[in-house]
Amino acid sequence: MQVLVINSGSSSIKYQLLEPDNGDVVASGVVQRIGEPVGDGSPTIEHKSDGKTFEHDGPIADHGEGLRLVFDLFAKSGHDLAAADLGAVGHRVVHGGEVFYEPTLITDDVVRAIADLSTLAPLHNPANVTGIESARALLPEVPQVAVFDTAFFHHLPDAAKTYAIDAETAAAHGIRKYGFHGTSHDYVSGRVAEVLGRDRSEINQIVLHLGNGASASAIRGGRAVDTTMGLTPLEGLVMGTRSGDLDPGIIFHLIRAAGMDVQQVDDLLNRRSGIKGLSGVNDFRELGRLIDSGDAAAKLAYEVYIHRLRRYIGAYLVELGRVDAITFTAGVGENDARVRADALAGLSRFGIDVDPDRNTAENRSARYISPEGAEVAVLVVPTNEELAIARASAALVG
């Protein structure tokens, strides 16, 4: 059986056709600049299969047209979806609110409920709905499954998920910590248990998902007990373009003193803050080059990033009491040895050490970077949200 996994953004669709049993990727690709005039000459669709890349140039009006063109590229590349052994389409959905906390078979009611949650994720859920509707129209016979980014954190303890604001107001507006990147935290923590050769229920872990978006989680015996993202993916760690934690008073100050409106503050904190806001770049490869060339703003951005990360590692060590594994994943976590070393520097007294040779070794697989026999296993584990979504979808449709 194969599963088509779709991650639909406001102007993009990422997709993979894969085999959930062994994780083999049959084809993958990305549709970009949906609804935008084209302009920069680069292809709007890049489709990869069997080591070849197929491209589409020219504007794409909407998600429906984008998916239709993708289906044409599947056929052209010799993997016609109509003839494939397609068991399910799995959709990544960002916000499940209080309603959804398990992979869910998509019906008209489910689509409506996901759309209703758009007040909690105004950029993401409408895009997810558009992707779901397009895929249902093109593949009406194939079961479609929604896998929610918030699901893994649904059962956070009350003390961790409750914001200390007026309880009635919070209840009326669904205000609680929901957490995001849940599919990744769930998948990676499962892989950690496999690497350690222990049952997930026996171990306590900290997972650091450091990509363009970034979040940390504390996991006790396979269940998340805390995470850094909140009602929205803005809380917590410093990210590529997002501020993470700040004094909420800053928002009032920006409105009163700088004359900003809600949209401007939203744009500032989500798109013009974080590493980008402090240094001008948001990619850690460029940030590293700037630091090495002596750029003071880049150095400060990095130090603020590491400071916040260490603060949460400390918090989760105390919350968990005993930690068996600390794991780095996602674009920065998997690739940036300097971040990994600095995040855990000076913690030997807690049984936490990073071996410099292991940390800098060229190796793409799940691996230890702590020294042999260390009390706390420090690991790098590549995340694979597509595979996790494909497996969850396949399991649901049986």
Residues interacting with ligand AMP, by CB under 6 A?
211-212, 240, 282-285, 330-332, 335-336
149 has catalytic annotation: yes
Q: Which of 149, 226, 342, 353 is catalytic?
A: 149
C-alpha count within 13 angstroms, C-beta hemisphere, residue 351: 12
CA distance 127 to 121: 10
Is 14 assigned a ligand-binding role in the annotation?
yes
| Alpha carbon distances (Å) from 237 to 214, 246, 280, 310 | 6, 10, 18, 10
Q: Measured from the CB of residue 8, what is the shortest distance to ligand AMP in angstroms?
A: 16
| Alpha carbon distances (Å) from 10 to 4, 65, 121, 123, 377 | 19, 14, 12, 7, 39
263, 293 contact by CB (below 8 A): no
Is 213 assigned a ligand-binding role in the annotation?
yes
Q: Measured from the CB of residue 283, what is the shortest distance to ligand AMP in angstroms?
A: 4
CA distance 98 to 95: 9
Specify the residue, 213 or 230, whose C-beta has the smaller distance to ligand AMP: 213
Contacts of 357 (CB under 8 A, 6+ apart): none
Token pair in block for residue 66: 């984008």
Q: What are the residues facing 379 on neighbouring strands?
A: 327, 368
Q: Which amino acid, 56?
A: H
Specify the residue, 69 or 337, whose C-beta has the smaller distance to ligand AMP: 337
CA distance 392 to 88: 10
Is 285 assigned a ligand-binding role in the annotation?
yes
Specify the residue, 214 or 225, whose C-beta has the smaller distance to ligand AMP: 214
Q: Measured from the CB of residue 375, what is the shortest distance to ligand AMP in angstroms?
A: 28
Q: Measured from the CB of residue 271, what is the shortest distance to ligand AMP in angstroms?
A: 14
Q: Is 282 helix (H, G, I), strand (E, B) or coil?
A: coil
Is 204 assigned a ligand-binding role in the annotation?
no
Is 334 assigned a ligand-binding role in the annotation?
yes
Specify the residue, 133 or 385, whose C-beta has the smaller distance to ligand AMP: 385
Please report, in range form, the residues annotated as the binding site for substrate: 92
Please report, in range form, the residues annotated as the binding site: 7, 14, 92, 209-213, 283-285, 331-335, 385
Active site residues: 149
Please report, in range form, the residues annotated as the binding site for Mg(2+): 7, 385
